[in-house]
Structures are given as structure tokens and as C-alpha cells.
Amino acid sequence: MSLTNLLLMAGGNSQQGGGGMNGIIMIVAIIVIFYFFMIRPQRKRQKEEKLFRENLQKGQKIITIGGLHGKICDVKENTVIIEIANEVRVEVEKASITINIAAKVEDKK
């Protein structure tokens, strides 16, 4: 069943005249549920990632989205140069760096 059918069944089978109000309440309830369980956590995660990427520092160990592990050698405006092996340096976009999960676990201890 689609969401529209469920809303129509919830409000349309009423014998009284207030059936339209039930449908509106259901729609508002669904929007509130979506906000608190999907939209709000996603925005929070995006803010954390943005703050992490803005505060990257030389010498910090990071992991890229592609799975490269390395240490930051230089931080530029939109890119970061990381050393992935002795004298092997790669320039990557800041957007391709993930939040370091190991650092988060250590912070909670």
C-alpha cells in the first residue's frame, strides 16, 4: 500500500464530519517522525564532518573514502597532501577524507 492510500483510509471511513482533520494530523505526524529520525541526524553528521575537515592538521593520521591510510604532510585550502608510504605523497581533496573512527573511540574513553 502506498502512503496516500493509508492516509485516505485513516481519514475517509469516518461517519462524522471531522475525518479531514485526522488526515492532516497523520501527515504532520509523519513529517515530524521523518525530521527526528532522518533529517536531524543527517544534518548533525554533516556538521561534524565539515568541522573535522576544517580542522585538519599536519601530522594527523587519516583515512580517505577510497581506503588510503596516511599522515597529513601539508594542508591547503581545498586539498591535503598525505604521505601513504616513505616518500610517497598524494594530493587528495578534503571532501574525500573520512572522520577518523579510532580518534572518536579514544575520545569517549
In which region does residue 81 sit, left (phi positive, over 0), alpha (psi from -120 to 50) or beta (all else)?
beta
**Shared domain check, 13 and 43:** yes
Strand pairing partners for 91?
Answer: 81
Model pLDDT for residues 23-69, shown as the tens digit of each residue: 899 999 999 998 889 989 999 988 988 898 889 999 889 999 988 89
Q: What DSSP state is assigned to residue 99?
A: P
**Shared domain check, 60 and 26:** no
CATH of the domain at 90: 2.30.30
**Shared domain check, 45 and 8:** yes
Question: pTM of the full predicted structure?
Answer: 0.59
Domain tally, the chain: 2
The boundaries of the domain holding residue 17 are 3-50
**Shared domain check, 104 and 61:** yes
**Shared domain check, 81 and 96:** yes
